[in-house]
Amino acid sequence: MLTIAQITDLHVTTGQDPLNQLRNEQRLRQVLRTIHELRPRPTAIIASGDLVDHGDPAEYAELKRILGDSQIPIYYAVGNHDRRQPFLDAFGGEYAPTDANGFVQYAVDFDGLRMVVCDTLEEGRDRSGFTPERAAWLAQTLDAQPDTPTIVVMHHPPILSGVKWMDPDPNAPWIGQLADALRGREQVRVVLCGHVHRAFHGLLAGQVVATAPATSIQVTLNLSPVDMERPDGREILVAEPPGFVLVVADEGRVTTHVCVAGELEPAVAYTRPFGFD
């Protein structure tokens, strides 16, 4: 059995924003403690974008400080709050290589499972910047190992959550391009995303898409209509517990668990053999 933890939307920042700095660091550390306490301990962690809040070099230095004590290798993807060059200056290399076009896109082979990481960042906008050349790279990368169970990782989800102000245009060209890259490639077991700060699941081109909760604060689950031009005072973010996703791969079968981090009190202990009744 192989396990990989996905963390997302860390939004690490600096002392120039002391409230968010303290809260987001504490919540991230809580998630990391919970992941390190899992048994078996995960083989790797994938941090799937919005690693920092503004893309500043000082924020990436803070992120490196916080993650420096991890005993589990951490791989990286970039999100809309990231900036590619400051990120690469801090983290580029083995755990965040780039493709021929300079995008943070790469594949990692574990024992019985492949992880393919895509770059959806277009600097200066919140929406996905997944382009035809990135979709072509994904299709070629998947075709290189058609028989290996594979997870695909990207920041922006291509499905709708129902939280209107966070959702993409379902007719956006990038979603169709991604669907074409996924369609018929049956080795893909799940597409892991972040961005929405909530856990939800759906399908694209017959593939499961699973979006993880944030290590930072979550998006409020309000599915009522919203006028994007007229603020109505609704709560949009809430301090629900931080979370992460755990991917479990076992003999080609892949399952995802949505997990809550924190100090939780045990409820029942295993003190006698399990029966069948």
pLDDT along the chain (277 residues), means of 10: 98 94 97 97 98 98 96 98 97 94 97 97 95 98 98 98 96 98 98 98 98 98 95 96 98 96 90 77
Residue 272 is predicted with a pLDDT of 87
Instruction: For residue 88, tell me if it sits in a domain.
Output: yes
In DSSP terms, 115 is beta-bridged to 108, 151
Instruction: For residue 204, tell me if it sits in a domain.
Output: yes
Instruction: For residue 222, tell me if it sits in a domain.
Output: yes
SS3 of the chain: CEEEEEECCCCECCCCCHHHHHHHHHHHHHHHHHHHHCCCCCCEEEEECCCECCCCHHHHHHHHHHHCCCCCCEEEECCCCCCHHHHHHHHCECCECCCCCCCCCEEEEECCEEEEECCCCCCCCCCCCCCHHHHHHHHHHHHHCCCCCEEEECCCCCCCCCCCCCCCCCCCHHHHHHHHHHCCCCCEEEEEECCCCCCEEEEECCEEEEECCCCCCEECCCCCCCCCCCCCCCCCEECCCCEEEEEEEECCEEEEEEEECCCCCCCCCCCCCCCCC
Expressed as residue numbers, the domain containing 246 is: 2-260
Instruction: For residue 266, tell me if it sits in a domain.
Output: no
Total domains in the chain come to 1
Instruction: For residue 95, tell me if it sits in a domain.
Output: yes
How many other CB atoms sit within 10 Å of the CB of residue 48? Answer: 30
Residue 171 is predicted with a pLDDT of 97
Q: What CATH number is associated with residue 112?
A: 3.60.21.10
Instruction: For residue 275, tell me if it sits in a domain.
Output: no
Taking CA atoms, 261 is separated from 31, 38, 272, in Å, by 5, 11, 28
Residues 6+ apart with CB under 8 A from 163: 196, 198, 219, 220, 221, 222, 223
Residue 275 is predicted with a pLDDT of 75
- The rounded distance, in Å, linking the Cα atoms of 81 and 133 is 22
Instruction: For residue 86, tell me if it sits in a domain.
Output: yes
Taking CA atoms, 63 is separated from 60, 202, 225, in Å, by 5, 31, 36
Instruction: For residue 270, tell me if it sits in a domain.
Output: no
Pick from 47, 44, 48: nearest CA to 2? 44
Q: Cis peptide leading into 40, omega within 30 of 0?
A: yes
Residue 276 is predicted with a pLDDT of 61
Residue 185 is predicted with a pLDDT of 97
Against a cut of 0.85, is the pTM above it?
Answer: yes
- The rounded distance, in Å, linking the Cα atoms of 111 and 203 is 26
